[in-house]
Amino acid sequence: MTSQKKVIFLMGPTASGKTALAIELRKHLPVELISVDSTLVYKGMDIGTAKPGPDELAQAPHRLIDIRDPAAPYSAADFRADAEREIADIHAAGRIPLLVGGTMLYYKALLDGLAPMPEADPAIRAEIEAQAAEHGWPYIHAQLADVDPEAAADIHPNHSQRLSRALEVYRASGKTMSELRRIQQAEAGPAFAERFDLSQIAIAPRDRRILHQRIALRFDQMLEQGLIDEVKRLRARGDLNPTLPAIRAVGYRQVWAYLDGLDGKGPAMSVDELKEKGIIATRQLAKRQVTWLRGWPSLRWIYTQREAGEDTNLQEIVKNTLNYIGAETI
- Of the options 1.10.20.140, 3.40.50.300, 3.30.1280.10, 3.90.550.10, the CATH number for the domain spanning 122-183: 1.10.20.140
CATH architecture of 6-116+191-207+296-329: 3-Layer(aba) Sandwich (3.40)
At 172-197, the pLDDT tens digits run 999 998 888 787 766 656 789 899 99
CATH 3.40.50.300, the chain: domain bounds? 6-116+191-207+296-329
Non-local CB neighbours of 238 within 8 Å, separated by 6+ positions: none
Q: Cα-flanking dihedrals φ and ψ of residue 210, to 5°?
A: -65, -40
CATH architecture of 211-284: Orthogonal Bundle (1.10)
C-alpha span between 259 and 279 (Å, rounded): 17
Cross-sheet strand order for the sheet of 6-11: 62-63, 31-35, 96-100, 6-11, 197-204, 299-303
Strand partners, 100: 10, 35
At 21-33, the pLDDT tens digits run 999 999 999 999 9
pTM: 0.82
Strand partners, 167: none
Q: What is the pLDDT along the chain (330 residues), one digit of tens a residue?
A: 558 999 999 999 999 999 999 999 999 999 999 999 999 999 999 999 999 999 999 999 999 999 999 999 999 989 999 999 999 999 999 999 999 999 999 999 999 887 777 888 889 988 998 999 999 999 999 999 999 999 899 898 888 888 999 999 999 999 998 888 787 766 656 789 899 999 999 999 989 999 999 999 999 999 999 999 999 999 999 999 998 999 999 999 999 999 999 999 999 999 999 999 999 999 999 999 999 999 898 999 999 876 555 667 889 999 999 998 986 555
Q: Tell me the CB-side half-sphere exposure of residue 261, using CA atoms within 13 A.
A: 14
Strand partners, 7: 198
Amino acid at 179: E
Non-local CB neighbours of 283 within 8 Å, separated by 6+ positions: 212, 215
